A and B are shown apart, each in its own frame.
Chain A
Amino acid sequence: MLNVRNLTVNLGRQTILENLTLTAQVGQITAVVGPSGAGKSTLLAALTGDLSFDGSVTLNGHDIARTSTTRLAEIRAVLPQATPMSFPFTVLEVVRMGRIHKTMNNRMASEALTRVGLHGFEGRFYQELSGGEQQRVQLARVLVQVWEPVAQGSSRWLFLDEPVSSLDIGHQLQVMRIIQDFAVRGGGVVMVMHDLNLTAMCADSVILLSNKMVMHQGSPRDTFRDDLLSSAYGCKIAVNRAPEDGMFLLPQVACAAS
């Protein structure tokens, strides 16, 4: 379980996040949503130990500030929003970096690539791929890092920053299925999302971030309410129910300002 209490992040003289308290459960997908600039990436950077912060963040009961880099790498993998690379590595070599300290054969890497829909891309140069293909190669790298259970049985975690934002709808669904599969097999997932419809479809828990704070955390059904979303995003949003308990969102034409 991921437990965040009274998290405050300052960058320079600016307070980016103030006094956040939230949780994420193993076996669930926790989505972080909110308008651009709300601090979603900053929150993820704090949770993965890249930024210094005030407050406490514990992963599986251990304070992440006091856990070693190597130990953290065993139980959690992180997918950045974009990963430019400066040397001409092949796709296979990039995926293998996910298990840089462990043994790994090429078959494992190929399986991960097949899983993200990049079968046969092993010998291509990473730099010559499209943005969406690069993002999926990185997803494969992140998957091989935590796909196998850890020896002591602690839960594994995936932290993803907009994993599907540069993908078409087919690949978006494919990636969401992989992530759901990971959660079903006992992993925890925290991911930043922009697409509220996809979030409503796949997430078990949603954190709505706005104005440096957590506006609401709960199931998609609880969080996606007209009033909460409209005030967070600053425009009129209507949530509609689809048959069979589904849900879809429609932004209204009139903006809140007018």
Chain B
Amino acid sequence: MKPRLPLVELVLCALCLWAAWYHTPAGALVRTAGAWVFRTHTTARPLLAYYGAGTLVPPPEHALPLPGPVPPAQALAYGAFAVRADLGSPPAIASRLRSLAQTLHSEDAAALALFCGEETAHYAMEHAGSQPHLIDLARALPPSKTCVSQAAQALMLGGAYALAWPLPESVRITSPFGMREHPLLGGRRLHAGVDLGVMKGAPVRAVADGIVRRASSDGVNGRILVVDHGGGVVTSYCHNDELLVGDGDHVRRGQMIARSGNTGRSTGPHLHYQLDLGGEPVDPLRFRAQRPKTAVGASD
């Protein structure tokens, strides 16, 4: 039998192999195995880094010391500045982002344009659906663009700078974020959130718009709510007395979502408030200019 288009087939197969080799975890697995057998170096990324089109990133190591409260309209600019200080001052970045958002009709696309260039952002907007998030825009672009990861970090930090506080500012912190002697189990462990000493029944409010990812109860976290705000920003509220929203519910910033309490493994009534960026717990106070006062009180 005589094949008709062998050269075309060769090119098409080469294209598929190129795509699979460089842009799938299976390809990375083969490349890593090859490098191990032949003792050579490979540029294959960790297998899990092939998901999310480069937008699933850890938060940057260093926090930006805040001179004062971040105006909500400048939160993203502060995030961008924390990722790349050479972009200009936060107010200058904010005005650039505003004009980019006006032409691109999307805040995520504006962040993408800031780091990857306007042409790239326009291209991504044309090829992503309507009202796209960064992940949709990034899926239209060739992977392994570091600028996409930078835009993702900027949006993540911008989201964190824009967060409200779950309780009145006057509520005192009874146990801060960080390594500490565990009050119940003993031994040094990471306290992944901040404990806020409030009486049972105090209203707990969502710190930003989001979707309830988890509303459940267990003997350690008590009645727990996990809210996904998008862009890798997730907040959790533990030890509540009563949950007022359920799995999959959309919540608005400032909406009452629970009544605080003393459920789960806890020494007394308090709220454990936790902020996760890119799947890693971070100190929520890093993103606030005012720091609530500390006091001795209930913890977990």
Do chains A and B interact in one complex? Answer: no
Could you tell me which A residues sit within 8 Å of B by CB distance?
A: none
